[in-house]
Amino acid sequence: MSGVIGHVALLMAAAQNNTPWTPANLSSLVAWYAADESLNTLASGLMDTLYDKSGNGNHAAKYAGNTANRGQVYPAELNGLPVWGYDTTARQAYFRSTNTHVLASGNAKAGISIFAMSAGIVAHNSSIVGTIANLTTGTSDASGRALLSRGSIGLNTIYGGGRRLDSDSLQSITDSVNYGTGYGIAGTVLDYANSDAFTWVNGSAAGSNTSFQTSGNTSATNSQAWNIGATGANLNPHLGRIGEIIMCNSALGTSDRQKLEGYLAHRWGLTGSLPGGHPYKTIPPTA
């Protein structure tokens, strides 16, 4: 009998080890959106609301512009999955969640991370920042506590930044690499506690700022909004396409970051973009 029990235990352990890893496994997950989520809603065939898959209720609704300005949905765009997009300067409606507890359990956080699978599509010039996602401060709708963008100092660079305290000036993390207009995985990790900030592109380090703000937690004020596709007041819209966005209220460590990159790469058919030494280049992460 003990042999049978042991065999069953081994089978259960093997099954558990083969459970696909998803962002739901991140303990600090606070917002998660995907273009193929069945609970998203459309208006006149255009994306109207984004359902928050994290379970925290940070659903994001179209905020600026009329129906015609909403993001267009492109079915089966990448690896058989849809994306939503903004392809012209006229299509600048963006999505906003005004859940005052968007960071969950208060707002004095030691770090914030944002990752997204997106494409530039429209080439940005040196004066344009195309905002993928922006968490505002508690005192200004236009100021970002955490920011992930394409553009800034060159065509389709990846740009991260933010403020630790509401009164701080924006500090950024940039590099000079032109990543083009194609689809890719980009993220920013803001480690406020250690005054470090990093950007990652397709599983490789892209930019860093190791004197990022002063060390400590963020201000404890509630952020005014969590914006997708622009900053507050519809500034710096992202002219491109987005398939998935994940935000966490911590600075992700190497293991969680690589699992998130591996998840996105396998889901969207972008494993060829991961570097050779990435642990999930050939196999997806498991829980």
Which contacts qualify for 202-207: CB closer than 8 Å, 24 or more apart? Answer: 202/261, 202/265, 202/270, 202/273, 202/274, 202/275, 203/258, 203/261, 203/262, 203/265, 203/273, 203/274, 203/275, 203/278, 203/281, 204/275, 206/158, 206/175, 206/177, 207/158, 207/160, 207/173, 207/174, 207/175
Q: Which domains does the chain have, with CATH numbers?
A: 23-273 (2.60.120.200)
d(CA 198, CA 285): 22
What's the pTM value of the predicted model, to 2 decimals?
A: 0.90
pLDDT band at 105 (very low <50, low <70, confident <90, very high): low
In the predicted model, is pLDDT for residue 194 greater than 80? Answer: yes
Range from 86-90, 123-127, 148-152 carrying the lowest mean pLDDT:
123-127
In the predicted model, is pLDDT for residue 246 greater than 50? Answer: yes
pLDDT band at 86 (very low <50, low <70, confident <90, very high): confident
Contacts of 139 (CB under 8 A, 6+ apart): 166, 167, 221, 224
Q: What is the pLDDT of residue 153?
A: 54
In the predicted model, is pLDDT for residue 189 greater than 90? Answer: yes
Q: What is the pLDDT of residues 119-146, one digit of tens each?
A: 876 554 445 568 899 999 988 888 899 9
In the predicted model, is pLDDT for residue 233 greater than 80? Answer: no
Which contacts qualify for 13-16: CB closer than 8 Å, 24 or more apart? Answer: 16/287
Q: What is the pLDDT of residues 10-38, one digit of tens each?
A: 444 444 568 999 999 999 999 999 999 99
